[in-house]
């Protein structure tokens, strides 16, 4: 049984994004992962690889280097254009693509985090993973001086 506790429910647009089947996967480095979990946009500099065939405005999964999904979002470029942008500054996109496009690969308002950074108010618990940890003082019922 998994229980998720969130500080606030997702907005309707974010629910809609989560309901769309992803057409591809974007794998990001640790810096981009931190940025995404801090509610920032995704830029080409943080992308390690992509897979799948998708068009601009399709839903994609965003995975970290350990293959954990960290977010889903609506992508601003198609799967054949993103490889041309890897390692480039957003100022060089027009030269690489032959047209002017957005700086962001995924714009922050079109991203839904599916993994949350440590310390946020969102917690996921698996009841199977809970264990009883004995008190350092031992069991108080056995050690009590009740008479």
Half-sphere exposure in the Cβ direction for 86 (13 Å, CA): 13
Q: How much is the pTM?
A: 0.72
Q: Residues 25-74: pLDDT tens digits?
A: 999 999 999 999 999 999 999 999 999 999 999 999 999 999 999 999 99
Q: What is the pLDDT of residue 60?
A: 98
Map out the domains of the chain with their CATH numbers.
Answer: 2-127 (2.30.130.10)
> Which are the contacts of 91, defined by CB distance < 8 A and separation ≥ 6?
none
Q: Where are the strands (E) in 13-76, listed by range?
A: 24-28, 47-52, 59-63, 69-75
Beta strand 59-63 with 24-28 is parallel
Q: Are the beta carbons of 75 and 105 closer than 8 angstroms?
A: yes
pLDDT in tens, 13-29: 889 999 999 999 999 99
* Displacement of CA 22 from its chain's centroid (Å): 13
């Amino acid at each position: 049984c998994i229980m998720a506790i969130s500080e606030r429910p997702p907005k309707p647009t974010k629910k809609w994004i989560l309901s769309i089947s992803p057409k591809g996967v974007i794998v990001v480095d640790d810096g981009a992962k931190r940025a995404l979990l801090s509610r920032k946009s995704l830029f080409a500099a943080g992308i390690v690889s992509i897979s799948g065939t998708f068009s601009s405005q399709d839903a994609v999964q965003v995975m970290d280097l350990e293959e954990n999904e960290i977010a889903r979002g609506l992508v601003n470029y198609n799967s054949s254009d993103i490889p041309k942008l890897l390692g480039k500054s957003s100022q060089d996109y027009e030269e690489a693509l032959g047209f002017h496009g957005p700086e962001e690969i995924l714009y922050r308002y079109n991203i839904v985090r599916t993994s949350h950074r440590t310390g946020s108010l969102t917690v996921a618990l698996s009841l199977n993973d809970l264990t009883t940890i004995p008190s350092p003082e031992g069991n108080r019922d056995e050690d009590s001086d009740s008479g």
